[in-house]
Amino acid sequence: MLAEIITIGDELLIGQTIDTNSAWIGEQLSLIGIRVHQISSITDNEKHIIKALDEASNRVQLVIMTGGLGPTKDDITKHTLCKYFNTELVLNIEKLEQLKERYQKFNVPFTKVNQDQALLPKSCLILKNTRGTASGMWFERNKVVFISLPGVPYEMKGILTDEGFPQLVKHFETPNVIHKTIRTVGVPESILAQTIENWESGLIKHHLKLAYLPSPGFVRLRISGIDRDGKLAPVIEQEANKLTHLIGEHIYGSEKETLEFVIGKLLTEKKQTISLAESCTGGNIAKRLTSTPGCSAYFMGGIVSYANEVKLSILKVSEIDLETNGAVSKEVVEQMASNVRLLLKTDFSIATSGVAGPTGGTEEKPVGTVWIAVSSANRTISQKLLLPFNNRERNISVASSYALNLFRKEFLI
């Protein structure tokens, strides 16, 4: 069972808006066993919309489109759909009453433009929108289902969740697709691929597929297959276990878990706390730890010791060590880690000091040289990174991930 998604709007094509609707719809459809074959973003133009609908409906049984249903004049989807399905707009009294009530409630004047939103195609089934003014619409032709939705993500998600997906599950006989995502950190895709090559080749006999999903510092591995007899879940689990056996040291989590979320979960379970002393990562690790709601249970805070003066005055790094070895050194980063832990009275700490670039590198310490350290009451451990990026943002991001991972490996597992 295949579907296509068509997102409509000039703003998508000139890069004003990133299309996040398609990814959300694609993910939700895959969970109910519908596979997205293609996503197309097209202009607000009648001919273009009709051509895209024709092409998509020749390839798949379900076409979901978003955008072009708002009250303003550049939104022409509704009129185009009437033409395409050979129907006409009629005033929907129930919808009109809802709209009036809604505008009254929010004390907004009810204009002609708003009233036009109660004009809906005669031949469609209406999908209710409890979060906004534009209705969803369900059309059928030659056994193909077409669903049209407003482009506002919050409204689109509400309509599909409340009405669209339940009706799709009823309407189509869909296969049950199962996915399992394994998250790795700190190892390049090519090394992973080589390590798991034999295992990967064996997946075919269970009709399973593997996808590599890399991002800076990380690679996600996704195993997926169609469950025809209700017996696939344990097979996928078994294969995931084999994978863990092969590359377990690189695996930090699964599914949607971020590294900072996993660390937060482990610290919360252990009722232990952490502090930070960041130089080259400049607050990025703190920002990532605080991105998780509930982090106040384990994250006490940190010192962003960007200037050497702050390393001396607040973190009490030895002036001699700083002068002799420089700020980007084992000695300094280890003192940063152990001193911030004592200063903020936490169980653990992480520290970073490096050359993020693009300038500031030397022959001895080129851009990408980063020292990371982690500390507990028992021991302080450090590691030197030589990151291959001549890019400040990337060096900061990857150094942060590696420092978090060093902490996880040394103290949480």
Nearer to a copy of itself, 79 or 125 (CB): 79
Nearer to a copy of itself, 35 or 409 (CB): 35
User: Which tokens go with 392?
Assistant: 């400040």
> Smallest distance from the beta carbon of 141 to a copy of itself, in angstroms?
22
Nearer to a copy of itself, 18 or 320 (CB): 18
CA-closest candidate to residue 177, choices 299, 75, 32: 32
> Smallest distance from the beta carbon of 179 to a copy of itself, in angstroms?
8
Nearer to a copy of itself, 304 or 412 (CB): 304
Q: E strand or H helix at 301, and its extent?
A: strand 299-304
> Smallest distance from the beta carbon of 302 to a copy of itself, in angstroms?
4
> Smallest distance from the beta carbon of 123 to a copy of itself, in angstroms?
27
User: Which tokens go with 186?
Assistant: 């700190």
> Smallest distance from the beta carbon of 210 to a copy of itself, in angstroms?
7
First to last CA, the chain: 42
Strands 274-278 and 348-354: parallel
CA-closest candidate to residue 336, choices 280, 408, 413, 266: 280
Nearer to a copy of itself, 12 or 406 (CB): 12
Nearer to a copy of itself, 11 or 321 (CB): 11
Q: Can you tell me whether residue 39 is helix, strand or coil?
A: strand
**C-beta separation of 352 from 369 below 8 A:** no
**C-beta separation of 334 from 358 below 8 A:** no
What's the CA gap between 241 and 253, in Å, rounded?
A: 13
User: Which tokens go with 315?
Assistant: 């973190």
> Smallest distance from the beta carbon of 42 to a copy of itself, in angstroms?
5
Nearer to a copy of itself, 88 or 202 (CB): 202
Nearer to a copy of itself, 102 or 379 (CB): 102
> Smallest distance from the beta carbon of 127 to a copy of itself, in angstroms?
18
> Smallest distance from the beta carbon of 33 to a copy of itself, in angstroms?
12
CA-closest candidate to residue 36, choices 54, 62, 16, 55: 62
> Smallest distance from the beta carbon of 146 to a copy of itself, in angstroms?
18
Q: Can you tell me whether residue 136 is helix, strand or coil?
A: strand
Percent helix / strand / coil, the chain, rounded to 5: 45, 25, 30
What's the CA gap between 315 and 282, in Å, rounded?
A: 15
**C-beta separation of 53 from 146 below 8 A:** yes
Nearer to a copy of itself, 13 or 266 (CB): 13
DSSP 250: G
Cβ burial of 54 (10 Å; 0-12, 13-18, 19+) is exposed
